[in-house]
Structure formats: structure tokens, C-alpha cells
Structure 1
Amino acid sequence: MNDLPAVFYEALFRLSQSTRSPYPFFQYAIPLSGNFGIFARFMHENTCLHAICLDKDRVFGDYLFYWLKDEIRPCDGDPKNDQYISRVAILLFANSKVPREVADHIRNPYASYELMLEQETISRELVDAALSWKQLTLLNIGTMLSDSSIELCEELVRNGNLTQLNLHDWAQTERAVEMIKIALCQDSIRTVWLETADVLEELLAFCSSNLGKVVEGTLDDNHQVYMLFDCAGLGKGEEEEAYLPQTRELRLLFT
């Protein structure tokens, strides 16, 4: 393997970054000798996440998180086109959009995008911007959205690029459950994370009835979705605790 071109190692490590947990891969690769170990150590030092936070369209946080070595640095330069930024996370508060100058600042052809919503409403402009991020892979909704905003988020879920949907303590609402059902029917979705198990019975019933009927088109034969219920999350009641005793997280694999 020592004679393989550098592009092979680069492709291999980029593939490892796209997996759910690349840490074991790097743990074993870093001590190796030769080009394999050299490249592993280089990626360990340089691979990072670019996170930017907006409140009322004002940037109040812009930093690089070197997650393989748990180190945070301010983003002082121009991160655009930095090939070692593997993910870009955009956190939005107080009805923020993504101004053009911010969109230009975070644009990176090498990275996947994660949209984190901590606001009750989102705009058509924001969704159009998010749809332009060809590698938007994660949508995290941390607060109850208005009905019109949920409809806009459903466009992102149906977009075909999203691989993970996170819903927090409002996941038991009727509109949220409908969004989860839409997500379960998308070929691209691999993980749905919920902060409550209150909707478990309804979703199990939904998945046990011919899932493909509600899909326009045909699901991939190998389509699989992990659904994660955080049983220690907010709003856990006595019934849930009795139903899932001593369980922090319940993982279901739908195939």
C-alpha cells in the first residue's frame, strides 16, 4: 500500500469522514507506518468542521472545530474552498436568514452542510439557499416551527440529499410526526433522531404497513433507516420510563 498515489489515501479518508463515527478508523490508522500512517496523522491534524452562528442575521460565532482532536479555533481567515473542512454547520436563531455575504463565506465544494434551526419561523429565501447547498445532509430542528415553516422544511426533507433528520422535544406533535413519516420514505434518509419515544407506537404501525405505497417512485431495495429515540431526553414521563427501563437510547433499523 505504500506505493499507492496520495489521491487514494485522500479518497479513503474523505470516505471515512462521511461515516457515522470515523473515530475508530483514525484510532487504528494513525499509528501505522508508511504513507497510510502519514496521511492519517495529517488528516487528524487538519480535518475540521466550520460552524457559524447567526442571530437576527448577525454573525456572533464563527469558528473551526477540529473534532478529531477536540480543539476549537476562531475562523480568522477565508475558509472558502478549504479542502480539510469536512462539514459546515449553520446555526440560526431569532428568525435569521443566511445573508449573501455569509453564504459566500461558508460555501465549500468539499464539505457537507448541516442546518441547525433554533427559531420558530423560516423563510422561503432560507430554504432556497439551503437547497442550493448540494451536500446538505443534516437538518436539526431544535424548536417548534410554525405550520408554514414545517411545510418549507418538508421541501428539504424531500430534496434527495438529506441523510439525517433530528427533531427535539416537539417531535410528538402531529405535524412533526407527518414530517418523520415523509423522511422515512426518502431513499436518502439514513437516520432519524428523536428526543422522545412517545411516538414510537405510531411510527412502528406506519412502517409495518406497506411503506412504499406513500412514496412517489420506488424505494431502493437496500433502503435502511435508523431511528434513534433518546429515552433520557427532555420531557421523559413515567410511562416512557416504565416502557423502556434502564434504556438511554433505543435504536430501530427499518428495512
Structure 2
Amino acid sequence: MTAERVLAPISTAAYRWRWLALTALLLGEAMNLLDATIVQVAAPAIHTDLGGSVSDVQWFTTAYTLPFAVLLITGGRLGDIAGRRRMFVAGTTGFMLASAACALAPTVSLLIAFRVVQGAAAAVIIPQTIGLIKTMFSGGEMAKALGSIGPVMGLAAVCGPVLGGVLTHADLFGSSWRAVFLVNVPLSVVVLAIAPKMLEDRAPNRPTLDLTGTFLAVLGIGLVVYPLIAGDIAALSGWVWS
């Protein structure tokens, strides 16, 4: 009886922390998807404030989604090698710092550069979620935990443009469009505060990174996307098509 009384509270606490850790994982996922859509509404205000060419408006979003998409596999491999919780924490930290840098960016070029860092950090965060969920849950609970990803992602996609408009027009403390990036900072702090309660997990047989393949993928997709955004298709020169 004594052993049962001692173990019961520990088991209950562990159960609560497991679901709290799931909340942090889902918040990390939602935060990254939110950032992919929230800037679309704030882009005109950013362009008015910082100036730049018309094509820069498209780069505010593309500079995030391009490295995010291309580096997803590499981010997953890093989790297999170094540990999924460790990479989730590293990615969230990088995302938070890049978000703060975006909010403070004085020029268009720096903002776009920081958006690239944001996208790369998101590519490290997202692949870790399913692996960490499978480590913390089993059976029916794992099915429920995995099933919660879809609704949360859908809600984040819907709320992104709305929140972008609200924050930009609210102009909190004169922040204008910068608030759409600053909102990531407190959210990241919450995720990082809970992350130590997650169980560490890594692949039993650690794979290797395909750095050459990753470089070629980034280069190839970049060479396709850049002229489509930066120039007028009808006026593209022969070397650009090449």
C-alpha cells in the first residue's frame, strides 16, 4: 500500500507532463505554420515601411517557405542522429532568435535574410514532432495525440492571415508589422520552458547526412524560383533561362 501511495502521484504527474509536452509540440508546429501565412497580410505594410522592389514582397514569404521545404529531410536526419528533443529545442531557439531579428530588421535585405534563417529553423522543428509523440505515447493515446496534429495545423493556417491583419492594424506600441514576428518570441519561450519534460529519442541506427544532395536541392530549386520571382517572365534574358 505504501508503494502504491508513493507511485500514484508520480504516475499522475508524469501523465500530466506528457500531455503538456504534447501541447508544446503542437504549439511549435502551429507557430511555424502560422509564420508561413501571417506575413502575407503584413507584407504590404512591410513594403511601405522598408521600401524595396515589388518582387521583395513575394520574397517575404518565399524566403521562409523555400528553405523550410528543402531542408525538412535534413532536419529529420539531424533528429535521428543527435536526438529529436535536442534538435527540437535547438530549432525552437533558432526560430525565436530569428523572429526577434526579423522584428528589428532595418532593411529589406536583412529581413529576407532573417526569414531564410527562420525557415531553416522551422525545418529542424517540424520533423521531430511525430517521433517525440511516438516516444511519449502508446496505443490509443498515441492515436489521439497524432490525430490532434491535423486540427491544430488547420486552425493555425486559418488564424495566420487573421492574426496578421489584427496585429498590423493594432500597431501595438508603434510596432506595426513588426508585431507579427514578435508574437513568436513569447510562444517560443513557453515551448522551451516545457521542452525539458519531453523524452529524448533518436534512431537506433543513426543515418548519415547527405550534404551534397541537400546542397544540390537548395541550389537547383533556388535557380528555378529566383528568376520567377525577381524578373518579368517575358523579359528574362537567355542566361537566366539557362
TM-score range (shorter-chain normalised) is: under 0.3
From the two aligned structures, give the one with the greater strand fraction: 1
From the two aligned structures, give the one with the greater helix fraction: 2
Asked which structure has the greater RCO (Cα within 8 Å, sep 6+), the reply is 2
Q: TM-score, normalised by structure 2?
A: 0.22
